[in-house]
């Protein structure tokens, strides 16, 4: 893999000095797996380079450091041996940890009188279920409520129904997130995807700008003066002539900016067709205010990331909900979440990291990198209470 | 692989300063392959990080450095071109080496008058066949007789019959050997293996101690005051209630210590149920003195090791030998050497090496690490005759 | 892989200080793929460690650096979107590059008025088709004409017909090229290949010497006083007795040196049966002057190389050409290019690089290493015009 081959301060590393670490921004919540995939068996995940075990006990979900502090076995190979206790037991010598606090509540092979158990504390991660996903807070400060950190449409499951898909990308999270910064790759890369090929190409050759969001949690993008067809002297037209005869549909408006009277703006304050949210999410609004998409990039390690994508529809009537579900199942999941996103995946996983030559269409990428670096949460100043304490005896 | 990721003196490396090198203890004999697997074709093995070729010529077995000193081809791709000469010929230009001394006896492409052949000497390793295995001595001193280095029951094939199995573990040899230091993982890890699930759990929550063996070649373990069932307030009983109803058999005594009147003690001086022998072997005795098990850990490289395991039965009568063989073939090989040991393998190969938190049950591990480091053979002082000379011209 | 594990100046590295870099000699032409394999789709190749994309537009072939200077996508995933323009378009945002000059002629997503396109220049490589292969010039100086760099028999397709095969070897190019320096491995390694097993073994135990070629582009080898059979006291005869009874054919003369009256010498000035040409080719002549073989080693990266091999027959009559083609297709391609060369491949890919002990038969290897290092083209002195300029904006 080409990612992360640069030493610190290498002038060829496009992220050098960007303030965006290879392993992701700490002190944020990240979706890490679909909730229904977590059954009785603990599951190991890697998030921001940290190995974590997630397990259920009854209705509760817990997350601990994957490595047992005793002799290094993996807790994900263990199990919740005492249901109802909220504990996970190591597979090797039976050290048993509270999922809540991370403290060792028993060393099963030593008897209840074994000294010092309680002084053993492994790292416990704040963990939540929301909108079908398990979310993990990775960082060094006290976790803020997850609800404060996600868009309204994700929280309010009574008003919104939807679906999610997820994939692993074998590229650094920054390359993946760059791809979602309205950088005009869509009219080019996706122009012949099944979802878009019968429409005119999205307007391009436009002027891009980015503006901070009102809530201080990201930036929104605006593109102006776009055109769906442009002539290049000496080359020809884009899109090329042999790609135009089958574009029979009318534009759906997906490429259009949101105007101030749109329901999305009036009802939800979503002023931008596309925006980037901390710590690496992308929020896509439709002017109707009846459909939103949220895509979240979760760093796995320096060489791969996890991509969680929600499609959210406003609940309007049972038959409309039914229709939307059918639409999603039979069309969106295939045409968008699979084929459309595969077009990006194929390119992103092969990107050769190096010095970049930026241009007009990179305005959104540059704005995101700068914004994220400037607004990333830092470790709490000394004296602040940290959420969890690392393992020690 | 998680093994060996620590730089020297990293405080998180549990073996740092332990005196136990990642590549194993030099100047000992190690079993490296089953003898019947060495046919006419030379075989390459890796032992303590060294690439070695082993070959047969008639009834004799020889071992040389795998790399030809001429242009670096692998001697294991060559063959014994002149049977009876005890030589191996390189596949590339026909340099021919004495298996006994490592010296180059001919450069086949140069004629018998080629100058300087005899000054070329590659490394020859002391090698032996014993109890079905090929043994190699890896080190820098003269090899002591192999018979002096292994338990009596392995040597005396007239009095003992038995079987061996072997496996490769993808973990450092120290992690594997730690597992064999009577650290109370057995009552936990193996409690539901087919071999043990119908018996009460081995006594645990005991006090462990280790004592040097009389012959100065290792330590023996003693566990006292063990119990087969313990209550943990707030959690429940171990073994858990739902795991007890099928434990219908009586204890077999396998978990019991050896008393001084036992035949194992009286006849063979084996005073401990379990002991660790240099350079990484484990010897398991039964009080009856009619069965012993020997397991030998041979480092392959920093990330893997070879595990050679013998089950040895006293020859008592032909029908008893027959019964024991059937028992081993139809039961032990499956229930113990395969399924039981797989339970460890699954954990050990995934251990994340790092700082450990030791506890009561690690007394045996700590004792072994200290003993082995203190008693490991060092390179002979200068002036001592070294067994073999490295390649030179 | 064992290759390239030595730090600079390691005394065990046989190539240390040899002047032969692990990635190959720059400023030469190299064959990189069969021309018929390059269709409409651009192809990525790696040559001397550089990632290059090769593409066709009509009858012309172009080669550019594989990495797009914009955001690092791979141009080989793009396509020639405007046939006839000689350009290649990046798959990510449509940056379009001239195959001839490497300059960016359009950023398709920005419109024709986008500033600065022309200042973006990626690396364009001199590229040619010759004798069925695509050739690439990798270096920092202006490329000399390819015709001046290859033997006459390769250029003159009107007088010579032939075939080529190619393989990838998983070893450094130097190990592969050493193998082709008339080092007497052939009488040993290949003695039982289908091609040679029914003939007497090639003469060996000879005296080897190497002489510079008249055209200053390599060295030719001479072997004297060779014998097809030699006795080794204490071992036996080589070839071994049990390998002689099936050698029923007469010698074909393939092992014989070329005499001064031979047609190869008189007509083509080819004075040596085998010679090494810069930058890593091997030229094998037959005294008849009616058949030549050329084998070219192209470094891929430090751990692998590409081997391109031509068999060239003089056109004499249509029926003779037909017979030669049948001979090649049904015999040479199988017996030589496949099985014979597999015998080397098996050894070379497993060589453990380290300190070597040279001997008489290495005279050709030593001579080649020295000659190549002394005669390798260096980067042009400052002030010289360089063929291409690297990407910059």
Report the CATH number at residue B358: 3.90.380.10
Per-residue pLDDT at A254 exceeds 80: no
- B-interface mutation test, from A74, A104, A111, most B Cβ less than 10 A away: A111
Do B105 and C234 make contact, defined as CB atoms within 8 angstroms?
yes
Contact A82 B240 (CB under 8 A): yes
Q: Does B80 touch chain C (CB under 8 A)?
A: no
- Is the Cβ pair A352, C74 closer than 8 Å? yes
Q: What is the pLDDT of residue B12?
A: 74
The C-alpha angle with vertex C125 and arms to C124 and C127, in degrees rounded to 5, equals 130
Instruction: Please indicate if any CB of chain A lies within 8 Å of the CB of B185.
Output: yes
What is the percentage of chain A residues whose pLDDT exceeds 90?
81
In C, which residues are within 8 Å of B67 by CB distance?
A: 352, 354
Indicate whether C387 pLDDT > 80: no
**Tell me, what's the pLDDT at C1?**
29
pLDDT tens-digit readout, C109-138: 999 988 777 789 999 999 999 999 999 999
Q: Do B352 and A111 touch (CB under 8 A)?
A: no
By mean pLDDT, which of A370-384, B293-307, C71-85 is the weakest?
Answer: A370-384
| Average pLDDT along chain A | 91
Q: Mean pLDDT, to the nearest integer, of B98-117?
A: 91
| Whether residues A46 and A80 fall in one domain | yes
* Domain total in chain B: 2
Same domain, B112 and B186: no
Of B378 and C328, the one with more pLDDT: C328
Q: Closest to B72 (Cβ–Cβ): which among C230, C236, C352? A: C352
Alpha carbon of residue A76 to chain centroid: 23
The whole domain housing C297 covers 156-375
- Parallel, antiparallel, or unpaired: how do β-strands B28-34 and C60-65 relate? unpaired
Q: Is the pLDDT of residue B390 over 80?
A: no
Which residue would you say has higher pLDDT here, C373 or C10?
Answer: C373
**Does A141 fall in a domain?**
no
Q: Does B118 contact chain C (CB < 8 Å)?
A: no
Q: How far is B317 from chain A (nearest CA, A)?
A: 40
Interface check for A360 against chain C (CB to CB < 8 A): the answer is yes
Asked if the structure places residue B384 within a domain, the reply is no
Q: Do A184 and C93 touch (CB under 8 A)?
A: yes
Q: Do A230 and A306 fall within a single domain? A: yes
B297 and B338 in a single domain? The answer is yes
User: How confident is residue A11, by pLDDT bands cut at 50, 70 and 90?
Assistant: low
Q: What is the DSSP letter of C362?
A: G
Reduced to 3 states (helix: H, G, I; strand: E, B; else coil), residue A333 is helix
Q: Are residues B236 and B362 in the same domain?
A: yes
B71, B113, B121: best to mutate for the C interface, most C CBs within 10 A: B71
Q: Which residues of A touch C393 (CB under 8 A)?
A: 357
Give the distance from residue C158's alpha carbon to the nearest chain A alpha carbon, in angstroms.
38
pLDDT at C385 over 80: no
Of B105, B109, B393, the CB nearest to C357: B393
For the residues C28-56, what does the mean pLDDT come to? Answer: 97
Q: How far is C368 from chain B (nearest CA, A)?
A: 15
Sign for the CA dihedral angle at C59, C65, C66, C70 comes to: negative
**Contact between C393 and A236 using a beta-carbon 8 Å cutoff:** no
pLDDT of residue C389 exceeding 80, the answer is no
Asked if A73 lies within 8 A of B354 by C-beta distance, the reply is no
Say what the pLDDT of residue C15 is.
Answer: 86
Burial class (CB in 10 A: 0-12, 13-18, 19+), B49: middle
Residue C11: per-residue pLDDT: 66
Interface probe for B, chosen from C184, C229, C347, C355 (most Cβ of B below 10 Å), is C347
Which subunits sit against A, judged by 3+ Cβ pairs under 8 A? B, C
What is the reported pLDDT for C384?
39
Strands ordered across the beta sheet of C133-138? C28-34, C133-138, C127-130
Q: Which residue has the higher pLDDT, B209 or B257?
A: B209
> Nearest CA of chain A to the CA of B103: how many Å?
45
- B92 and B45 in one domain? yes
What is the 8-class DSSP label of residue C121?
B
Contact of A73 with chain B, judged by CB distance below 8 Å, is answered with yes
Count of positions (residues) in chain A: 393
pLDDT at C293 over 60: yes
Q: Would residue A331 be called left, alpha or beta, if left means φ above 0 and alpha means ψ between -120 and 50 degrees?
A: alpha
Residue from the list C77, C85, C106 with its beta carbon closest to the beta carbon of A350: C77
Distance from the Cα of C323 to chain A's closest Cα (Å) equals 47
Instruction: Quote the tokens at residue A215.
Output: 């809530």
Beta carbons within 8 Å of C317's beta carbon, 6+ residues apart = none
Can you tell me whether residue B305 is helix, strand or coil? strand
Percent of chain C with pLDDT over 70: 93
Residues of B in contact with A77 (CB under 8 A): 346-347, 350
A382 falls within a domain? no
Tell me the pLDDT band of A68, cut-offs 50, 70 and 90.
Answer: very high
Chain C residue with the nearest C-alpha to that of B51: C352
pLDDT of residue C90: 98
Closest CB to A352: pick one of C67, C105, C111: C67
Report the C-alpha gap between A320 and A158 in whole angstroms: 15
Nearest CA in chain C to A230: C111
- Backbone torsions φ then ψ of C319, nearest 5 degrees: -75, -30
Nearest to A235 among C69, C70, C82 (CB): C82
Helix (H, G, I), strand (E, B) or coil at C176: helix
Domain annotation covers residue B197 = yes
Contact B70 C204 (CB under 8 A): no
Residue among C105, C109, C301 with most chain A CBs within 10 A, to mutate:
C109
Inside any domain, residue C139? no
CB atoms within 10 A of CB C249: 11
Tell me, yes or no, if C34 comes closer than 8 A to chain A by beta carbon.
Answer: no
Q: Contact, A247 vs A198, CB < 8 A?
A: yes
Q: Are residues C192 and C300 in the same domain?
A: yes
- Contact criterion met (CB < 8 Å) for C109 and A187: yes
**Residues of chain A positioned with their CB less than 8 A from the CB of C101:** none
Q: Tell me the percentage of chain B whose pLDDT exceeds 90.
A: 81
Give yes or no: residues C205 and C347 share one domain: yes
Q: Check if C105 contacts A (Cβ < 8 Å).
A: yes
pLDDT in tens, A285-317: 988 899 999 999 999 999 999 999 999 999 999
- Read off the tokens for B239: 């073994």
Interchain proximity C352–B51, CB inside 8 Å: yes
Q: Is the ipTM of this complex over 0.95?
A: no
Q: Does C85 touch chain A (CB under 8 A)?
A: yes
Give the pLDDT score at B1.
Answer: 30
CA-based nearest distance B19→chain C, Å: 27
Cβ contact, residue pair B352, A116, below 8 Å: no
Q: With H, G, I as helix, E, B as strand and everything else as coil, classify residue A146.
A: helix
| Rounded Cα gap, residues C274 and C295, in angstroms | 11
Which parts of chain A fold into alpha helices (H)?
152-155, 173-178, 186-189, 263-268, 318-327, 333-334, 341-348, 363-375
What is the edge-to-edge ordering of all strands in the sheet holding A60-65?
A43-47, A50-57, A60-65
The band of A114, judged by pLDDT with boundaries at 50, 70 and 90, is confident
Q: Do A77 and B346 touch (CB under 8 A)?
A: yes
- Of A376-385, B2-11, B123-132, B276-285, the one with minimum mean pLDDT is B2-11
Which of B130, B160, B190 is the endpoint of a domain?
B130
Domain co-membership, C59 together with C125: yes
CB–CB of B110 and C359 under 8 A? yes
Q: Which residues in C109-198 belong to E strands, given as ranges? A: 127-130, 133-138, 160-169
Residue matched to tokens 């004296």: A383
Encode pLDDT of C319-367 as tens digits: 999 999 999 999 999 999 999 999 999 999 999 999 999 999 999 999 9
What local confidence, expressed as pLDDT, does residue B253 receive? 72
Residue in C72, C96, C108 closest to A351 by CB = C72
Q: Is residue C226 located within the same domain as residue C359?
A: yes
What DSSP string runs through C76-90? GGSB-SSTTS-EEE-
CATH code assigned at B122: 2.102.10.10
Give domain status of residue A138, yes or no.
Answer: no
The answer to whether residue A2 is domain-embedded is no
pLDDT at A238: 97
Q: Considering CB atoms only, which of A71, A91, A112 is closest to B231?
A: A112
B79 contacts chain C (CB < 8 A): no
The reply to whether residue C230 touches residue B111, judged by beta carbons under 8 angstroms, is: yes
Tell me whether residues A69 and B238 touch, CB distance under 8 A.
no
3-class SS shares of chain B: helix, strand, coil, % to 5: 20, 30, 50
* A3 contacts on C by Cβ (under 8 Å): none
Residue B265 pLDDT exceeds 60: yes
Residues B108, B161: one domain? no
Contact predicate A143/A81, CB 8 Å: no
Alpha helices in chain B (DSSP H): 152-155, 173-178, 186-189, 263-268, 318-327, 333-334, 341-348, 363-375
Please state, in angstroms and rounded to a whole number, the distance separating the CA atoms of residues C106 and C87. Answer: 10
Cβ contacts (< 8 Å) between C231 and chain B: which residues? Answer: 112
- Asked if A301 is an interface residue toward chain B (Cβ–Cβ < 8 A), one would say no
Q: Within this chain, do residues B188 and B265 fall inside the same structural domain, yes or no? A: yes
Number of cross-chain residue pairs from A and C with Cβ atoms under 8 Å apart: 97
| Residues in chain C within 8 Å Cβ distance of B110 | 184, 204-205, 359-361
């Amino acid at each position: 893999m080409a990612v992360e081959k640069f030493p610190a301060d290498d002038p060829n590393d496009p992220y050098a000095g960007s303030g965006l670490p290879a392993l992701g921004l700490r002190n944020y919540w990240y979706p890490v797996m679909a909730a229904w995939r977590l059954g009785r068996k603990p599951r190991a995940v890697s998030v921001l380079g940290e190995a974590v075990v997630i397990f259920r006990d009854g209705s509760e979900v817990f997350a601990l450091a994957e490595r047992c502090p005793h002799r290094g076995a993996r807790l994900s190979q263990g199990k919740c041996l005492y249901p109802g206790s909220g504990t996970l037991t190591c597979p090797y010598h039976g050290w048993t940890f509270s999922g809540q606090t991370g403290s060792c509540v028993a060393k099963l092979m030593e008897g209840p009188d074994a000294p010092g158990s309680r002084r053993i504390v492994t790292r416990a991660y704040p963990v939540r279920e929301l909108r079908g996903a398990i979310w993990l807070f990775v960082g060094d400060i006290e976790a803020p409520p997850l609800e404060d950190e996600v868009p309204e449409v994700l929280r309010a499951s009574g008003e919104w129904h939807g679906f999610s898909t997820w994939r692993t990308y074998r590229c650094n999270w920054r390359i993946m997130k760059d791809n979602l910064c309205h950088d005009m790759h869509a009219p080019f890369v996706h122009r012949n995807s099944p979802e878009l090929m019968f429409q005119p190409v999205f307007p391009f050759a436009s002027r891009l700008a980015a503006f901070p969001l009102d809530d201080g949690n990201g930036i929104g993008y605006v593109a102006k003066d776009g055109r769906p067809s442009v002539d290049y002297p000496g080359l020809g037209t884009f899109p090329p002539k042999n790609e135009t005869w089958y574009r029979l549909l009318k534009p759906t408006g997906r490429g259009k900016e949101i105007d101030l009277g749109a329901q999305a703006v009036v009802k939800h304050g979503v002023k931008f067709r596309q925006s980037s949210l901390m710590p690496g999410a992308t929020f896509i609004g439709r002017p109707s205010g009846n459909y939103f998409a949220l895509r979240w990039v979760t760093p796995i390690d320096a060489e791969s990331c996890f991509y969680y994508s929600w499609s959210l529809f406003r609940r309007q009537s049972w038959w409309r909900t039914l229709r939307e579900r059918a639409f999603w199942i039979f069309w969106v999941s295939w045409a968008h979440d699979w084929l459309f996103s595969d077009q990006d995946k194929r390119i992103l996983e092969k990107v050769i990291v190096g010095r970049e030559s930026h241009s007009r269409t990179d305005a959104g990428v540059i704005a995101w990198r700068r914004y994220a670096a400037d607004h990333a949460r830092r470790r709490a100043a000394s004296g602040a209470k940290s959420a969890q304490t690392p393992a020690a005896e």
